[in-house]
Chain A
Amino acid sequence: MGNTYAIETRDLKKTYKGKAHPTLNGLSLRIPYGSLFGLLAPNGAGKTTAINIICGLRKYDSGEVLVDGHSLADGMKSIKPLFGLVPQDIALFPTMTAYENLKILGGLYGIQKSLLEKRINELLELFDLSASRHSYINRFSGGMKRRVNLIAGMLHAPKILILDEPTVGVDAQSRRLILEKLVDINRSGTTILFISHYLEEAEQICTEVAFMDNGSVICQGPPSDLRDIYKSCDSMESMYLLLTGKRMRDNQ
């Protein structure tokens, strides 16, 4: 293939209609193959817009996006099978069972019926949900929904997994399970783009992180390297606050 990055954005710009400032202001992001990459940013910094553009859900004004070497400008057909998205919302059908949801979503990836069945069983087992496979999603706890949401993005064993706050609103047990499994999945060769507000999570599992603010990357590297650079910061959180400031971003 020749390219080094699973995902690369070059000088990506996007300004929403009616907004004075650009949401993405020349975002250049490089996510190496095999990394568990943490994208950390305050509210309104543009990370959701960036993810939506990478996944083909939003148009962008200028710049370039490459996923596994395929340019987004050439269309999404060759890109879609390469990645799996685990959105922040529980993007499942609440009136269906966990099994029905996974069967439909896996089927849409074109997975063979027998292979899909095997994959669903494996992943339900992995995330401790086998016993609830025929229960309706709207009767699941928050943690169970999160885990099914995660499985839905992994059914087709994607090369790249994009996770938007996968542990938000779950209990400590579910969080620990999810993070452990993500590390395992990453070790098996899947590149993971991990977006979270929980900085200690990123510090704990990410092989590389990027801090983003005002629509562009302000700092990127492995956590150990960043700690060497910002020696005065005793944690990822203090580093984050140093780089992005303490001003509230609620209205952005």
Chain B
Amino acid sequence: MRKFRYLIYKDYLLLKRDVAGLLLMFLMPIVLVILMTLLQESTFRAITDASVPLILINKDKGELGKAIDKELELSGVFKIDRQIDGKVPTLQELEREIASSKYTLGILIPENTTENIQKNVARYVLATFSGAMELPAMDSVGFVIYVDPTTKASFYTTIMSTLKEKTQKIEFDYILKEITRQVNEISPISISTAGFAGQQVYIDIRDAQLEGKDMVPNPVQHNVPAWSLFAIFFIVISLSGSIIRERQDGSFSRLLTMPCSYTEYLLSKAIVFTLVSLIQFGLMLLIGVYILPLFGTESLNLGSSPLALILLGLSAALAAIGYGIAIGNIADTSHQSAVFGAISIVIMAAIGGVWIPTFIMSDTLRTIGMFSPMHWGLSGFLEIFMLDAGVKAILPESGMMILFGLVCFIIALAFNYRRRLDV
């Protein structure tokens, strides 16, 4: 055991003096997690906080104008101005403001709109009840809407349909109310539509959920575990590099001529790098909980099972260490291991959903991503953070990562045996 402590001390000193490796393992993921979270957060905010600038000129003194004004305000979609430089604009001024793109939309509700609708409804009801064969002439009721010509077609369609939906609902409510009033004037029995909401068909829109809870992570929930896994896997560069350097400078051979077995040699590296991984992981979680909220993001909720978190972190570390040891034994030079290690990790991260969450990937990419150890890890962490999962729930992900590490370790042993036997 005392001898083994010297091996661990050796690997600790080698790591401590590897400044580039330490920067790669600690500084890079810290910068990435903060930067990527903030970038995604600001994009998210830009979409959700967006409001369409609109000028509303309401010349109608009746109920319809007031109702439309109120509905547009309540929709939250529009930032409404009613005056420009302290006065109500004319139609020409309205057009000029929209054409110069200061506003996206301009709406004019003409004078007497409510009154004209009332008159039209009264004529219609009267004609209907008097048995007239032809409908009477109606006063025209129309809004003027100006739209910024640079507005994208898709955005224009969305805005116009929203606007139409709102005005038609108000118009319908108002017409129903007017018909009721007119009918009550000529009918001996009083009727009421107060309890009639008008909307009979409900479209229930829901977010897709897994086991009753929302599985679309926010930027913090996604980025903290994603970049933690990326950081853990990046130890591969330092680990494989140290194995190759020791093999090339002869110190590995010297160690094997000492009372020290190959298993002890690898175990020492595994212990040191497991500790590094757990420190990286802890650091990233702390950033998610305490540092990111300082930049205005949500704080990371760590779930309720610390044991599940540790198990998953440990499994990810074992997967990365196994992979690092395998590369260290397969590659002939540090350059080979650094290039292959870095590229393979970036690919694993890309398909595993570290860069871009898997839920926005195509089906094909999502299927390919299922083979990435980082995907297993990320799924496990999301279960803990979002579904409050415990140890039992993350056992499949944890098991897959441990198995991956084990397979890599066996490959490393086979390559080392072959090297000693024949090279």
Decide if A and B are genuine partners: yes
Contacts from A to B (Cβ < 8 Å): 16-17, 52, 55-59, 77, 80-81, 83, 85, 87-96, 100, 103-105, 107-110, 152-153
Cα A58 to Cα B416 with chains together (Å): 11
Known: A56-B256, A96-B13. A89 touches B6 (CB 8 A): no
> What are 14 of the A-B contact pairs (CB < 8 Å)?
A17-B422, A52-B253, A55-B257, A58-B421, A80-B257, A89-B250, A91-B249, A91-B253, A93-B251, A95-B13, A105-B258, A108-B255, A109-B259, A153-B254
User: Which residue from A17, A57, A92, A110 sits with its C-beta under 8 Å from B420?
Assistant: A57
Known A58-B421, A89-B250, A107-B6; further 13 A-B contacts with Cβ < 8 A: A56-B257, A58-B420, A80-B258, A85-B253, A87-B254, A88-B250, A89-B249, A93-B13, A96-B13, A100-B13, A105-B254, A107-B2, A109-B259
8 A Cβ contacts from B234-267 to A: 249-251, 253-260
A88 to B5, CA, bound (A): 27
- Complex: A96 Cα to B10 Cα, angstroms: 9
User: Given the known A-B contacts A57-B420, A91-B250, are A108 and B6 also in contact in the complex, defined by CB atoms under 8 Å?
Assistant: yes
B interface residue count range (under 10 / 10 to 19 / 20 to 34 / 35 or more): 20 to 34
Q: Which of A55, A107, A153 contacts B3 (CB 8 A)?
A: A107
Chain B residue at smallest Cβ distance from A77: B259
Query: Shortest beta-carbon distance, B231 to chain A, in Å?
Result: 23
Partner-A contacts on B (CB < 8 A): 2-3, 5-7, 9-10, 13-14, 17-18, 249-251, 253-260, 420-423
CB–CB A95/B14 < 8 A: yes
Minimum CB–CB distance for B51 against chain A, Å: 58
Closest residue on chain A to residue B248 by CB atoms = A89
Residue contact B260 to A108, C-beta cutoff 8 Å? yes
Across the interface, do A87 and B259 meet the contact criterion of CB distance under 8 Å? no
The CA-CA distance from A55 to B3 in the complex, in Å, is 20
Q: For A59, list chain B residues within 8 Å (CB).
A: 420-421
Contacts of A89 in B (CB 8 A): 249-250
How many angstroms from the CA of A196 to the CA of B393 in the assembled complex?
A: 63
CB < 8 Å neighbour of B258 from A94, A100, A108 = A108
B422's nearest neighbour on chain A, judged by CB, is A17
A residues within 8 A CB of B257? 55-57, 80, 83, 85
Residues of chain B within 8 A of A77, CB atoms compared: 259
